[in-house]
Every structure is written in structure tokens, then in C-alpha cells.
Structure 1
């Protein structure tokens, strides 16, 4: 195939199976074509046709390959003059002594620049990015792991972070395999971002990725027993009604903690019978979804007063009370709802340590018992079926699942 260009016009020449040559182009939004017996005649006709299509004369002919070279040069030059870029490249080639030498010099320069970045600089970069563009809840988890090292080893070069060092950091305090792997994953996230930025070798695995995971014992996740779910709901009604939506949306709507924190009041009413989890609110997958409003969830939310100031407990600090009032006029939950909720439950003696994702695990386990459909639960929870089966499901009898979704009725 031969591509003939003139200005913005393109005509392509193909050899047909019968030995003749076909010309193809688009005109007025439609495909056009003609046929020539000889190749030379086809090329000349294609040039004439392209010239006519462009509607101009006196322009210089270029082949398709030449046009591609020109397009690449313009892309490399960006806002700079392509001629200035060519001159600079020519000077660099002469100084280096050849293309191979120039490539080696550029790689050495990039390596020297990478060695200058430190752990403290990476921490500050991540903190800025997560505050502006990513999830505060995710950064909160990362910060717990990274900050002690960023404070004490701020000047440590990223290139000096080895797999042995990552393994040593993750092993502090004789952690369980799960805790060790969670720490490793956070370092993998941090160093992976450094690789994206070009702060460490972009063509190599990070030190955290090289460190092997530890084998975890498979066990069912923690969930709320039905009596505990009832006790916590009663506790919140008595002491902190402003936290009820946050708790209920996780336990009977399957929302992630970050989603329950970010959901707006109009997301609960914009589509009757559903909780609208917008893409901007959705967690790890970032995909919009509609969660059916179970009868007990609708009943729990429906009993709450619409006035924000009535929801906030009188014992709340005055300065924080004003902030919470303003937020609860728009959002379903106040700030720091997770910390306050776990503190209240522990103070009430319901448990000593708040299990990770216990509300969401409860929803998935009881909903699976109720529906016998892992696909349905995965859709409502915003996860894959494999993740639900592996991480979120604790087998429970059907009757217990039904009882869970009657709490609040």
C-alpha cells in the first residue's frame, strides 16, 4: 500500500488481486475510489486527486513515511521550535561522539538525578498528592506506616532502600503475616509512585515488590453478631445520633467507610429506593453504583430528624459542633466518624478492639446468607465476586441473615 499526502488530503493506493491498482480516498464524508492498470499511473492519479482534494497548488509532496517523521518531531518539540530541537540534538550528538554515547550519557544523567531524591521528599510529595487528588482515608493508612521513617530517615536516598531494609521495617514488633503484608503493600504503593515519577529506576521492580509476601492463614472475617448490631444502633440513638447514618450505610448498605464518610444527603434521596454511590465517592474501583435501600435501612434513616443541630450530642465540643452542623447539612456523616464510632463502641464495652471493615464484612456475609447470590452481593458492595468470596464472606445460616436485616424495623 502507498499513502499519498498533500496538505490535509490523503489518498491510498492498493494492489488488487487481479494485478490492477485501486485508489481510495474520502470526500464529502463518503468513501470514493477508482482503478488504474499500471502502478505508475495509479500514483500519478493519486497525487492529482490529493492535490485537488486539498484545494491548493504549489505545495511540496511528502511520502507517508516523511509525514510520520515530521509528526514525531513536532510531538517531541512540543511548544518549542522543531528547528531549535534539531539543532540542539545535532550539537549533543557531536559533543557525545555518536548516538550510543549520547544515550549512555543521558542514562547516566538520569541515574544521578534519581539518586538525589530522599525518603522525606517522597513522603511530602505523597502527602500533597493524596490531600489534593486522592482519598484522605487512604493517606491516613499510608501515613501511619511511612511517617515514622520519613521523620527519622528523611535524608535517606530512595536508591538506598533495599529489599532487606523493607523486610526489616515490615518485621518490626513480630507482626502477624497479615500485618507484615499490609506494611509491605504500603511501601510498594509509595515506592511505586516514586518509580512513576522517575525518582527511582523506572525499568526495575521496587525494593518492596522484590520482598516476598508471608503466607497468611485463611480465616473468616470478623462480623457483628446480631445482638451487637442491635446494641450499637441503640447506643448511637442514645449518645450520638449524628453517627447513625455512617454506621447504618456500612452495615445494611455495604458501603466502604470512606464512601459512608463522603456520601451526600441528596445521594440518599435522588433515586428513590436506592443509595446512589457516585463515581467520585466510590472506593477502590471508582465505579458508580446503586445500592438497594433495604427496608430496615430505610426505616433507620427515616427516623432521623432533618435538622443537623438536633443530631449532634450536647456533649460535643462547641467548636466541633458548629463544624459538624455545617457538614451534616450536606453530608450523611460528620468528619472523623470512624474514630468516634470505634471509641464509643469500645467505651461501652461491646468490644476491646475494632475489627477492620467489620461493618462491611457483616453486610456481605449476612446478605450472602439472605440472597445466595455472590454476584448480586458483589454488585451491591462494589467489589468483584472473587474478592467477596475470599475476603468478605463468613458463612452464616439463612435465618441469621434474615434477622440481621430486620434490625431497626
Structure 2
């Protein structure tokens, strides 16, 4: 027998669901399943994120259809062979709508594959190509950046996460034009994603207060967060600070090759963020804090970044300042002559 309060709650639930044409049993079942998928009661937050990304207005295309489409539109035989090898199994594992595939889903898929790092890299590259193709086809939004949080893999067997050494980073900063410095240093010493830096405005950088504000609409996770401005990052940004305006130049991808050639340092995928997380973990030994600063989950941080570098190397990394960078670069030039 329902209590008076339970009867009132029951009537309220029926009334709230009636205008949506959903019965109470279905609503309860879907809610419970959603909580299970989201690992907690994040249904409303996820729905708002879904709406903000305008995903409800995107066409419903299955992973299988998208995979077949990119294969059919690929003319290079070797590349098409690679796509044919890796995308059908991915489509079979994700028998769902393309826009519902998330970074944690892809990470788990890659983790479960019994393959060498080099082969996993090929699989990841194929999935990334699929996502980019789907954006061009209008099946995913233009700012779709789900792959930013997918684990990267090295061609070598030495490890999955690649970072710059403090000497390499110093050489890159010395070779970089002034207008590239904010992007490079915020990534390397603040850990922001490339896509987030691309949306960042100078009015969100509080040098006096010591924080960079990442607004919910700019963040990959759509959650607002504050990133501490460490001492060496402040030293790089202070001379360049402006009241407002875009922090980063557009199309940074075009700059990587030039920087690599000018500095003599090979560029690596997502290397600025990977370096920050790896060195930050080694320095403070607090996975939860680093996860909060980077807008990532503690599980991903623990799995991918723990024990990648040594604490002594971390101290050198966060000691890179404009003066130190020039000195290290000069010593590097002398050693090569």
C-alpha cells in the first residue's frame, strides 16, 4: 500500500511523463539503464551536453554505414586496405548510432584489443579518419573532438605515451615565433587540450589570481574548471598578456612541421598535454588533482600516465622559463658543433 506521499509522487510522475508519451515503467527502466551507462546519476547533465552539441539535430547514421562510406570514398589502395582491416571490426563492436560513440568507449575498445602498440596505433588512426570523414559528411558537428581523449600509441614498443624532454621543449620554445608561445606554453605547462586553447580568450586568463578559466561551452567535457597558472607558465604569459582577444592562432597544425624543422625536435601527437600530465603526476603524486586540472577522469590518468617520467625530470620541466629555455638551447647548439 502506498503512503500518502508515495501516492502524490506517483501522480506527479504520471503527469510529468504524460506530455512526452512515456509510461512510468519505460521511464524508470530507461533512467536506470542510463545511470548504469553513465556510471551515476548524470542523465540531465548528459542530456544538456547532447543538446548543446546539437547532436539531436544531426542525422542518424550508424557506425557501420559511416565505416563503409569512408572505405568506398578512399582511392588509395594501401589506405583502403588498412581501413578495410580495422573499421569493420570496430563497426561490429559498436552496433549503434555514430554520434553516441564516446572517448571512454573507444579507449575500452582499444584496451581490449590483443594487439601490439604499433597495430593499435593503426586502429586508432582509422577511427580518427572515420570521425573526420563523418564531420565532413555532416554526420557529426564541426567541433567534434572525441578523439582528443583517446589514448595514443607509439609505433615503437617503448610505450604508449610520448612526451618531450625539458631540453626538447626548450628548443621548441626558442625556435617558436612570439605569437605561438601562448599556445605552446598553456598546453605544456597548463595541460589544456588543443581544441580548448583554440577557443580560449585572454579575458579568461587571470594572471594576478593565478588561474585560467575554462568555460563549460569550451571544455571537451562541457564542465567549467579552473587551471592553476604555475610559476613558469606565468613567466611566459605575462609579457604577452592582453585584456581580451583569441589566445591562439588558427590552424596550429600547420605550425608543427615548421617548429619541428626549426628546433630539430620531432613532433608527437598530443605531446604538449601528454607531457604536462606526465610531469605533473610525477611532481605532485595526486591523480585526482591532475584529473580535475585537465578535465579528465582519474581512471584514464592512472592507466595511461602513471610512472611515465621521474620526479627529477618533472622539476626540470616546470622550471622551464624564458631565460632557462634560451640557456638550454644555447648549450644544445654548442654540444652539436
TM-score (norm 1): 0.47
Structure 1 counterpart of 2:168: 228
2:257 maps to 1:343: yes
Summarize the alignment of residues 26-175 of structure 1 with structure 2, pairs less than 5 Å apart: 75-76=20-21, 133=54, 148-149=70-71, 151=73, 166-167=88-89
Q: 1:268 aligns with which of 205, 211, 214?
A: 205
Structure 2 counterpart of 1:357: 270
Summarize the alignment of residues 205-216 of structure 1 with structure 2, pairs less than 5 Å apart: none
With CA pairs under 8 Å and 6+ residues apart, which has the higher RCO, 1 or 2?
Answer: 2
Relative distance call for 1:187 and 1:402 in structure 2 (3 A) is same
Q: 2:245 aligns with which of 286, 311, 330?
A: 330
Structure 1 counterpart of 2:225: 289
Q: Which runs of 5+ in 2 are unaligned?
A: 23-49, 56-62, 76-83, 93-117, 141-155, 323-337
In the TM superposition, residue 348 of structure 1 has moved relative to its aligned partner by 1.5
2:123 maps to 1:180: yes
Q: Is the 8 A contact 1:230 1:407 kept in 2?
A: yes
> In structure 2, what is the Cα distance between the partners aligned to 1:13 and 1:389?
45
> In structure 2, what is the Cα distance between the partners aligned to 1:399 and 1:336?
34
Structure 1 counterpart of 2:190: 253
Q: Is the 8 A contact 2:232 2:320 kept in 1?
A: yes
SS at match of 2:240: coil
> In structure 2, what is the Cα distance between the partners aligned to 1:304 and 1:388?
31
Higher helix share: 2
Q: Is the 8 A contact 1:221 1:394 kept in 2?
A: no
Q: Is the 8 A contact 2:232 2:318 kept in 1?
A: yes
SS at match of 2:227: strand
SS at match of 1:395: coil
Higher strand share: 1
Q: 1:241 aligns with which of 169, 173, 178?
A: 178
TM-score (norm 2): 0.55
Q: Is the 8 A contact 2:172 2:265 kept in 1?
A: no
2:296 maps to 1:383: yes
Q: Is the 8 A contact 1:270 1:276 kept in 2?
A: no
In the TM superposition, residue 228 of structure 1 has moved relative to its aligned partner by 1.0
> In structure 2, what is the Cα distance between the partners aligned to 1:68 and 1:389?
41
Task: Work out the number of aligned pairs and report it.
Answer: 234
> In structure 1, what is the Cα distance between the partners aligned to 2:178 and 2:186?
14
In the TM superposition, residue 305 of structure 1 has moved relative to its aligned partner by 6.0
Q: Which runs of 5+ in 1 are unaligned?
A: 4-11, 15-23, 27-63, 78-128, 135-141, 154-161, 198-215, 308-328
Relative distance call for 1:402 and 1:148 in structure 2 (3 A) is same
In the TM superposition, residue 249 of structure 1 has moved relative to its aligned partner by 0.6
Relative distance call for 1:146 and 1:217 in structure 2 (3 A) is farther
In the TM superposition, residue 342 of structure 1 has moved relative to its aligned partner by 0.9
Relative distance call for 1:25 and 1:392 in structure 2 (3 A) is closer
Q: Is the 8 A contact 1:250 1:359 kept in 2?
A: yes
Q: 2:240 aligns with which of 300, 304, 307?
A: 304
